[in-house]
Amino acid sequence: MKRHTLAHLLAAAVLDLYPGTKNTIGPAIDNGFYYDFEFATPIADTDLKDIEKRMRKLLPSWKAITGEKVTEAESKALFDANQYKLELIDEIVAKKEPVTLYTAGPDSNIPKPYTLPPAGGPIPYFTDLCRGGHSENPSKEIAPDSFKLVRIAGAYWRGSEKNKQLTRIYGLAFDTKKELDAYEQMMKEAEKRDHRKLGKEMDIYEFDDDVGPGLPLWLPNGAAIAEELENLAKETEFAGNYVRVRTPHIAKESMYLKSGHLPYYEESMFPPMEYEGGKYYMKAMNCPHHHKIFAARPKSYRDLPLRMAEYGTCYRHEKSGELFGLMRVRMLEMNDAHIYCTEEQFASEFRAVNEMYLKYFKIFGIDKYVMRFSTHDPKRLGDKFVNEPELWKKTEDMVRNVLIDSKIPYIEVANEAAFYGPKIDVQVWSAIGREFTLATNQVDFAVPKRFDLEYIDSDGKQKTPLCIHRAPLGTHERFIGFLIEHYGGNFPLWLAPVQVKVIPIGEAHIATATKVHDSLRSAMIRSEIDLSNNGFGKKVRNAKNARIPYFIIIGDKDMEAGKVTLEGRDSNAEYKQVGQLGAEEVLSKLVGEIRERR
């Protein structure tokens, strides 16, 4: 409510300072608010201080915000010179919804007739088209130092490139200055940890114009991280009795029509390829292929649950303006699996998937998380969601009961389910407190029927299995982007692209250093040896700057003792200076740490 109120306060300040400006919409968002304007004269980030100052000047006079239903004519008379507000009013009327105006000012006596603020202010009352949700007394409820305007950006009206570009002003808002300062500090740290910046510095991935936007090229360092994640997933899934499959990167149109993805998901799929008189699509999801594998051989209840896993590569037609480093790409390597089970098996299978998430959280040091449970909107059955009202209620109750019984923290959100069933999006917070959507866990009661998936039950009857879609590590792209920021590039030993750097101090130490390096490589440890002409100090600095967990130094004293010196990149408990050890001791220590994924 405070953030929404502040969006109105921002609009009032802008209209006060810049007569002739047209205000459009201004919602509350995570951590703040924004408002879009059409300015007669462009403004810059340097103008934000003046706008913020005017907001603080107006705030003490905002002792009430009062809403009132008005007629279409009254609202249009107020905004007769603002085509954006007139368009919104027409939409509200067309939907047969009430038109409401909210007025902020020194009291709840809304002046009639409704008027816009006088050019150049001051503004005793400010009225805006709004559905509501505000602070009752902003002057008391909003601390003057708890908000801040941070930047301006371009934004097309209604998000369409065909429309006029507006100026969007973003603000931060919290309950107290302390919370605001903490968030700003977190954002400064996040800027240092930005996966796009560190990804380039650490040679993890690259984009190339000839390859195409949103299609990452994994460099050797990035490939090493991806392979370690895949190995972790394969080991975990093998222990959980999953079977692995592989599927093509393209498929015929008929399969995606059958699955329902074309009617519901076509905008997110690449355009089809015409071939041999038919249409083929790039694979945007693995599930239809897995359904085909399930159907390839007869199944009985003894074959269930069947847990089918694949690190499948998928392709999504994301808009150019939505691409964002590794977080939003067009090629995805997905830690995907589908569990086919009976209704009686569902609770234990869904619980096991959630337990797998918790295991991964422990490995990666993720302490804060929440399951975002997305349900359907009964009003949109047949439109956004398959038209099976009884199955929606039944499966949502099943998921909810598992979450409650497992005592897993969750929030419930309406109208965000997959078209074929309820889902859970896993929200996690990185080491510096940034929130990420990491993975998904979905229930599918609709698509197995479309593929005629059946098994023979113990009573001899044919039945359709439930299907659980799950991807605990999400995609390589998003998860590695998260891990870069989570660790600040300081990956744990098992996950680090280069795990050990061997540093001979002088030429006399190269032969021994090479022998140590070769023994590490033989043990499948990602070791590099520094044979450059750089001085010893620079070699060590380079190893630390490359965020390599350990480096092994070999000098005269080490050779005399028949040992090596093991040092770490920093002073934390895991990667600190260890001191002199025998080469075999070092090997044993490193192999143990890597195996345990500490």
Summarize pLDDT for 470-527 with one digit per residue, the tens.
999 999 999 999 999 999 999 999 999 999 999 999 999 999 999 999 999 999 999 9
pLDDT computed for residue 431 by the predictor: 86
Residues 384 and 533 in one domain: no
In terms of average pLDDT, the best of 108-112, 135-139, 440-444, 586-590 is 586-590
Residues 212 and 171 in one domain: no
Assess contact for 353 and 339: CB atoms under 8 A.
yes
Q: Which one of 184, 215, 246 terminates a domain?
A: 184
Question: Has residue 411 got a pLDDT over 80?
Answer: yes
Residues 79 and 154 in one domain: yes
pLDDT computed for residue 463 by the predictor: 95
Q: Is residue 300 part of a domain?
A: yes
Distance CA 476, CA 333 (A): 6
pLDDT band at residue 435 using 50, 70 and 90 as cut-offs: confident
Q: Which one of 466, 487, 508 terminates a domain?
A: 487
Q: Is residue 231 part of a domain?
A: yes
Residues 12 and 112 in one domain: yes
Q: Which one of 442, 460, 487 terminates a domain?
A: 487
pLDDT band at residue 113 using 50, 70 and 90 as cut-offs: low
Q: Is residue 540 part of a domain?
A: yes
Which residue range is the domain that position 92 belongs to?
Answer: 2-184
- For the segment 122-147, the average pLDDT, to the nearest whole number, is 87
Assess contact for 578 and 552: CB atoms under 8 A.
no
Summarize pLDDT for 141-197 with one digit per residue, the tens.
999 999 999 999 999 998 888 899 999 999 999 999 999 999 999 888 888 999 999
Residues 338 and 467 in one domain: yes
Q: Is residue 427 part of a domain?
A: yes
Residue 149 in tokens: 């305007």
Q: What is the CATH number of the domain that holds 83?
A: 3.30.980.10
Assess contact for 360 and 472: CB atoms under 8 A.
yes
Residues 418 and 347 in one domain: yes
Question: Has residue 408 got a pLDDT over 90?
Answer: no
Question: Has residue 118 got a pLDDT over 70?
Answer: no
Q: Is residue 192 part of a domain?
A: no
- Number of structural domains, the chain? 3
Report the candidate in 152, 137, 309, 295 with the shortest Cα–Cα distance to residue 238.
309
Residues 71 and 150 in one domain: yes
Report the candidate in 163, 160, 167 with the shortest Cα–Cα distance to residue 83.
163
pLDDT computed for residue 301 by the predictor: 96
pTM: 0.81
- For the segment 88-105, the average pLDDT, to the nearest whole number, is 91
**Averaged pLDDT of the chain:** 91
pLDDT computed for residue 571 by the predictor: 60
H or E segment and range at residue 158:
none
Q: How far is CA 163 from CA 129, 310, 319, 321, in A?
A: 21, 42, 17, 15
Q: Is residue 189 part of a domain?
A: no
pLDDT band at residue 117 using 50, 70 and 90 as cut-offs: low
Q: Is residue 102 part of a domain?
A: yes
Residues 541 and 436 in one domain: no
Percentage, residues of the chain above pLDDT 90: 68
Q: What is the CATH number of the domain that holds 515?
A: 3.40.50.800
Q: Please count the residues of the chain.
A: 598
Q: How far is CA 436 from CA 398, 496, 549, in A?
A: 26, 22, 26
More confidently predicted of 243 and 416: 243
Q: What is the CATH number of the domain that holds 212?
A: 3.30.930.10
- Dihedral angle over CA of 470, 417, 475, 329, nearest 10: 160
- For the segment 229-240, the average pLDDT, to the nearest whole number, is 96
pLDDT band at residue 115 using 50, 70 and 90 as cut-offs: low
Residues 583 and 538 in one domain: yes
**Among all chains, which residue has been given the structure tokens 């919409």?**
25
Residues 412 and 504 in one domain: no
Summarize pLDDT for 321-373 with one digit per residue, the tens.
888 999 999 999 999 999 999 989 988 999 999 899 999 999 999 999 998 99
Residues 150 and 37 in one domain: yes
Q: Is residue 191 part of a domain?
A: no
In terms of average pLDDT, the best of 213-222, 316-325, 378-387 is 213-222
pLDDT computed for residue 440 by the predictor: 84
Bridge-based pairing state of the strands 550-554 and 579-581: unpaired
- For the segment 260-274, the average pLDDT, to the nearest whole number, is 87
Report the candidate in 121, 103, 126, 104 with the shortest Cα–Cα distance to residue 18.
121
Residues 369 and 438 in one domain: yes
Q: Please state, as a whole number, how many other Cβ atoms lie within 10 Å of the Cβ of residue 4.
A: 22
- For the segment 16-36, the average pLDDT, to the nearest whole number, is 92
